[in-house]
Amino acid sequence: MSYLQAGIITILCILIAPLLDGIMRKWRARIHSRMGPPIHQTYLDLLKLFGKEDISRSILAVLYIACVASATFILALQGDLLSFVYLLTASSVCLVLYSLSMGNPFGVVGGGREVMMFVIVEPVMAAAFLSCAIKAGSFNISHLITWGNVYGVQISSLFAILAMFLAMQAQMGKLPFDLAEAETELIGGVLLEASGPTLALFKWGLVLRQLLIAYLIAFVFIPWPGATGASLFIFTAIKTFIILFLATTVEALFPRLRIDQALGFYARVLIAASFMAIAFSTLGV
């Protein structure tokens, strides 16, 4: 895929992420038996925040959204898997550094939780990647996709998809794993001190990240053999949308877990799904 096309897809993702968030808010509201805000509400929220004063300005907010946007670009470009993972992790690091630099006790606790979560969730995701990479014999995303299209779904890829789906809620920062923010415990935790444009950038980055994770699963882990060009784009968009829908439904159906329970859950996922995926892929099935 050319740089131009990847660039266009990235910009499209950045612009459309708040809309998708708005649709998901509406969907969640329907599950709650509420009317919910109009679907363009997230744009209004961001616009309002950009117009407000910033009392805790930090370059980390810009870095955060830049990291997520670059990761989107690499995925759209079907580039190097390792830089993708690196950028995604770097965005989490930005968030943690921001919360720690503010010195608010709630933020510090939230930052600590974010670190604990990505220490355990990152390997779950990395193992899923690794199992695909072992089979394709490459760390290039385009090779992974081609391999998936040619050989279809195997046992190891089923485990990899399972691991990705289980890691999804935490990667998106959604319930039952929104521990770093945990509004009813930590009053917003990592983002507690953020306001105005800084908060807007973080929020925008977060909705983009949610879209990115869904896009990743749809694009890499659920192959659609035979689709190319425009049809590939349309199929990926539909799959992405369905995955976001799923994530929102799960979010509405679970209460928040405690950090020890969340870590325990992912420790089990790591053993049951991620390691199995790697084991099967080394066996070549």
Write out the residues near another protein by the rule CB under 8 A.
Answer: 31-34, 53-55, 57, 105-106, 109, 112, 175-176, 178-179, 182-187, 252-261
- Minimum CB distance to another protein smaller for 105 or for 226: 105
- What's the CA gap between 21 and 200, in Å, rounded? 14
Q: How far is the CB of 192 from another protein (least distance, A)?
A: 11
Distance CA 153, CA 151 (A): 7
Determine the Cα–Cα distance for residues 210 and 91; give it in Å rounded to an integer.
Answer: 13
Tokens describing residue 268? 């089990």
C-beta closer to another protein: residue 56 or 70:
56
Q: How far is the CB of 219 from another protein (least distance, A)?
A: 30
Q: How far is the CB of 252 from another protein (least distance, A)?
A: 5
**Cβ within 8 Å of residue 11, ≥6 positions away:** none
Nearest to another protein of 177, 221 (CB atom): 177
For the CB of residue 272, give the shortest distance to another protein in the complex, in Å: 17
Beta carbon of residue 247, minimum distance to another protein (angstroms, whole number): 15
Question: Which of 18, 25, 184 is CA-nearest to residue 110?
Answer: 184
Identify which of residues 32 and 48 has a Cβ nearer to another protein in the complex: 32
Q: Position 255: which residue type?
A: P
Beta bridge partners of 140: 80
Distance CA 54, CA 76 (A): 33
Question: Minimal distance in Å, beta carbon 70 to another protein?
Answer: 29
Q: Which pair of structure tokens corresponds to residue 247? A: 């994530």
Cis before 38? omega within 30: no
Instruction: Confirm if 163 and 120 have CB atoms less than 8 A apart.
Output: no
By beta-carbon proximity to another protein, the closer residue of 230 and 260 is 260
Q: Which of 240, 164, 225 lies closest to 9 in space, CA to CA?
A: 240
**Choice between 3 and 254, CB closer to another protein:** 254
